[in-house]
Amino acid sequence: MATIIRIFSLVLLIMVWAIPALATEYCHPGNVKTWSKSFRSGSATSTYNGHGAWVHIEKPHALIADRFGYALLAQTGSVENIDPWLIRLDCDGNVVWNKRYESGQTEIPYAMIQSSDGGYIIVGKKGTGPAYFDHGTSDDAFIMKVNWDGDIEWQKILAQEGEIFDIAYDVKQTQDGGFIVAGSRGTPWTGVVHAGVDCMVWRLNAEGEILWQKGYGGQDIVSHGGHPDEWATSILITADGGFLLSASARLGWADEIWLAKLSRIGDVVWQYVYHLEGSYDPRVIPAKNDGYLVVSSHAQINSSNIWVLKINGSGQILWQKVFGGGEQLHLDLADGRNPVDSVLLSPKGGYVIAGNTMLPDTQMRVYLLKIEENGGVVWERQYGIEGQDMGSSVVESFDGGLLVSAIETNFGQGGDDIWLLKLNSEGKLGGVSNCVADVNKESSITTASISPMPTNAEPFFGEYDFRYLSYSGDFSAFNDNVVVENVCEVRYKGYKKWRFPFFKIFGVKTAPDKKDS
């Protein structure tokens, strides 16, 4: 009997020890945690590009949330050599591991998805172009498969002889385990197609080998310099197994939105241009009750707004609204496009949009907008204290909260840091914070129109020689030094907790929490 009691006590002791350990491995639904942290790799800073703007060397590009925590895709390095940077975090925002992928050139990642085996697929561009240009004269598109631990399984370069550049901007996994990749290609004068930029779609198998690839663009569209420009922004897999491609199309001197519904083999089913002059960089996600939600920036002479459209499965507009009320409110980052995951379909209903807003003194703040199914505003918040803080991605966490990525310039020790805000479902830090403020941007209903694409934008495939190659890349992975700081002041239930990096850096112990009177 004594032996049984000893065995039972030992088992009970093991259970008491193991259960808390196991509990920390998963993000529990309903137990919403909030935190605010900045990340940097040490030496990377923003750099003046010589063309009137500052380049954000460290910048977030994509977020993924699962039951184990989060994966953050970012970039780091120098202005001459930017590398993709993947950071795996637990539910509390602690770094589990990080991998930096480099090949001695400039490699900028633009999108990431989690593959069906739990690993990650990353796409972007690599080449010799400087960091402050969206493309260089010899850039190639790349796709890279890494496993759960961030180790490279395979990598492919998508390139074509004679082309100026190829860039991959978005990727989705198809039902057969393969991938569909959307991007853009710079084309020289061939006597068949005008020089300019066209959209590209690559259909790949599970190992990254090309099954087919097609280019799309308007041969009669004239943009600045007389060249047509169509920049792909996102691609979706539709219910019928086809695809929906979104792009910015330059018509004359202004950008407008172009959507093209493609079949399983890339043939155009329908296509429309959505006319609200100065609209660019659209993001498209499936709507809750059929159809799609389209979100884009809308630039005017003295202001910038966010344009939101709900369309049905045939591309017809159901409703549309502009948010901003003549203020500086937009989606895109200071020196590049906003990530594909800057718009979220909330399982709790409605949509959450991440962007940034400019204050009267030209400082920037991270901006979150929650809207209902019909476009009505649920809440709006802005985040930051001072400096240039710009929103990037937003995803729903496994515990039911929100995770937002941003560029921030206030908390770090010089230069730009990557800022992650783990919020509750209402966009708050769980208490009263000096980093969070309610805002009320004016919204209005618009009457923008749509029309068929003003040209036959059928695929160019076969009209000139496609010699696309899919060959192994030369990336190598290594661990980087990650500096993490808790940031923001948050007050919980009448108590004040300081979360500034000053105390951590200088080793100063703070006094016990003092009740806030």
* Residue ranges covered by each domain of the chain: 31-488
Judged against a pLDDT cut of 60, whether residue 449 lies above it is answered with no
pLDDT for the residue numbered 16: 37
Tell which residue, 267, 252, 254, 181, has the closest CA to residue 222.
252
366: its two tokens: 């991270």
What phi, psi does 242 have (nearest 5°)?
Answer: -85, -155
Judged against a pLDDT cut of 80, whether residue 448 lies above it is answered with no
220: its two tokens: 């009669």
Q: Are 246 and 255 in contact (CB under 8 A)?
A: no
The more confident residue out of 158 and 112 is 112
pLDDT for the residue numbered 273: 86
For the ranges 157-161, 231-235, 331-335, the lowest mean pLDDT is seen at 331-335
pLDDT in tens, 336-352: 555 667 888 988 889 99
- Output the pTM of the full model: 0.82
The more confident residue out of 327 and 184 is 184
111: its two tokens: 């999108």
- Using DSSP bridges, classify how beta strands 230-237 and 243-251 pair: parallel, antiparallel or unpaired: antiparallel
Residues shown for the chain: 517
Q: Are 165 and 208 in contact (CB under 8 A)?
A: no
Paired with 72 in beta bridges are 63, 87
What phi, psi does 7 have (nearest 5°)?
Answer: -65, -45
Q: Are 402 and 34 in contact (CB under 8 A)?
A: no
pLDDT in tens, 371-424: 999 999 999 988 887 777 777 789 999 999 999 998 877 654 445 788 899 999
Cβ neighbours, 10 Å, residue 479: 10
pLDDT for the residue numbered 391: 74
Helix (H), strand (E) at residue 492: strand 490-492
> In angstroms, rounded to a whole number, what is the distance separating the alpha carbons of residues 41 and 77?
8
pLDDT for the residue numbered 216: 87
Mean of pLDDT values over 20-33: 69
132: its two tokens: 């402050």
pLDDT for the residue numbered 228: 57
For residue 53, what pLDDT band results from cuts at 50, 70 and 90?
A: low
Write the CATH number of the domain with boundaries 31-488: 2.130.10.10
473: its two tokens: 């890349």
